[in-house]
Amino acid sequence: MKKILVTGGAGFVGSHLCERLLNDGNEVICLDNYFTGSKENIVHLLKNPYFEAIRHDITMPFFIEVDEIYNLACPASPVHYQFNPIKTIKTSVMGSINMLGLAKRIKAKILHASTSEVYGDPEVHPQVESYWGNVNPIGSRSCYDEGKRCAESLFVNYHLQNDVNIKIIRIFNTYGPRMHPNDGRVVSNFIVQALKGEDITIFGDGKQTRSFQYVDDLVEGMIRMMNTDDSFIGPVNIGNPGEFNMLELANKVLELTGSKSKLTFLPLPDDDPVKRKPDISLAKKMLNNWSPVIPLEEGLIKTIDYFKENLKK
Ligand code: NAD
Ligand code: UDP
């Protein structure tokens, strides 16, 4: 049985990861300041004696003895990470320094949840790990994008300078049950709007693309990455290469919910990437032939079912 720390464990992805790690027979400690996560996401795990939830902000140091650390703490939706941009940068930078310092001291392996946003508005398509990206360093998304880029640099340098056992994954847009209904990300927005019969908010002309990964596929990829040889540190893309534009996504959600909601067109936010799609050759090669197994329609149906229940509360 391994003792595993998950920062951001009460968030959307973190709660699924905690659940899976417990099911695999590990002891799990979830660290979260509940900024965007909630106790609701982990309440079903609290009865498990091998699960512990601690309220803590990772911008402050934290000490514990564990074997592995998954560093997920950071708001992920543009609406949330732009709410307090300085805090977002602190969470990525100071939070990473605190967790890397901990990993160094206790000799734990540490995996960092980086993002496809390090590629910014990409000029290389699909995105490969060797591409350095196209990020506006002073734009409205920079608190997140540059924070995550700095965190990658911190991880690599703690590895090179202090021999910390690190892993970096670059996560592409992920969706599924336990996304916050007001989180502002496109999949939750469209589903909640469709279920409530409200207008579906398309930003810009809706031709921008994203590649949507169901959360279980991500969790599988994360665990496989943590278990790779120490010599493989990444970064590695974890995402679903299926590429859809926002009009296609909206129409799919309307079809699957049977909703009569209308589309409404709103201005495109600053620096919104035009297209995004992962090249997952490296993940396939290094993560034991990992690739996503849940197609968009199947994942959307599971997520719609979740929101139908959630909206009744
Ligand atoms: P989320 O907002 O649901 O979860 C983030 C969690 O971190 C929340 O529980 C929040 O309360 C917690 N948190 C935030 N700041 C903290 C702090 N200073 N100290 C302690 N806890 C803090 O987002 P998510 O979608 O679950 O994302 C999880 C991680 O994966 C994030 O690091 C995010 O950047 C990364 N990621 C997610 C996606 C995606 O599409 N979901 C894509 C790329 C990267
Ligand atoms: N988007 C949209 N309507 C919404 C929310 C988002 O059209 O209600 C668009 C947004 O402009 C972006 C895409 O959907 O082009 C994905 O947005 P999200 O915030 O989910 O993720 P990110 O931009 O970080 O990839």
What is the structure's pLDDT at 120?
97
Pinpoint the alpha helices (H) of 24-84: 78-81
Give per-residue pLDDT as tens, 215-262: 999 999 999 999 999 999 999 999 999 999 999 999 999 999 999 999
pLDDT band at 151 (very low <50, low <70, confident <90, very high): very high
Task: Residue 208: name the closest of 269, 279, 292 by CA.
Answer: 269
Q: How far is CA 33 from CA 9, 39, 55, 145, in A?
A: 10, 10, 5, 21
Residue 74 lies in a domain: yes
> In the chain, at which residue ranges do the beta strands (DSSP E only) sit?
3-7, 27-32, 51-55, 68-71, 109-115, 166-171, 174-175, 200-203, 209-211, 213-214, 236-238, 243-245, 263-266
Question: Which candidate, 80, 73, 78, places its Cα nearest to that of 97?
Answer: 73
Question: Ligand 2 centroid to 132 CA: how many Å?
Answer: 22
> According to the model, what pLDDT value does residue 58 have?
98
Are 302 and 243 contacting, i.e. CB atoms less than 8 angstroms apart? no
Classify residue 69: in a domain, yes or no: yes
Question: Cβ(186) to ligand 2 under 6 A?
Answer: yes
Position 252 in a domain: no
- In this prediction, residue 303 carries a pLDDT of 98
Burial of 213 (0-12, 13-18, 19+ CB in 10 A): buried
Q: Of 70, 81, 144, 175, which is the active-site residue? A: 144
3-class DSSP assignment, residue 33: coil
| pLDDT for res 2 | 98
CATH of residue 91: 3.40.50.720
Mean local confidence (pLDDT), 158-182:
97
Q: If pLDDT is split at 50, 70 and 90, which confidence band does 313 have? A: confident
Domain that holds residue 120: 3-179+213-241+278-294
pLDDT score at 81: 95
| DSSP-assigned letter for residue 134 | B
119 is known as an active-site residue: no
- H or E stretch covering 191: helix 186-196
Q: Are 75 and 58 in contact (CB under 8 A)?
A: no
Write the single-letter amino acid at 256.
L
267 falls within a domain: no
Pocket test for ligand 1, best of 5, 6, 13 (most atoms within 8 A of CB): 13
Q: Return d(Cα 233, Cα 218) in angstroms, integer.
A: 17
What is the rounded average pLDDT for all residues in the chain? 97
CA neighbor of 152 nearest in space, from 80, 223, 234: 234
CB 197 within 8 A of CB 261: yes
**Structurally, how many domains does the chain consist of?**
1
- Residue of 12, 38, 58 to mutate, ligand 1, most atoms within 8 A of C-beta: 12
**pLDDT at 212 > cutoff 90:** yes
Is residue 147 situated within a structural domain? Answer: yes
Whether residue 194 is contained in a domain is answered as no
| Tens-place pLDDT, residues 97-111 | 999 999 999 999 999
* pLDDT over 90, % of the chain: 98
Residue 312 has pLDDT above 90, yes or no: no
Q: Which atom of ligand 2 has the smallest separation from the CA of 208?
A: 15
| Structure-block tokens of residue 125 | 């398509």
Residue 196 falls within a domain, yes or no?
no
SS3 71: strand
Give the model confidence (pLDDT) of 294-306 as tens digits.
999 999 999 999 9
Identify whether 302 is part of a domain: no
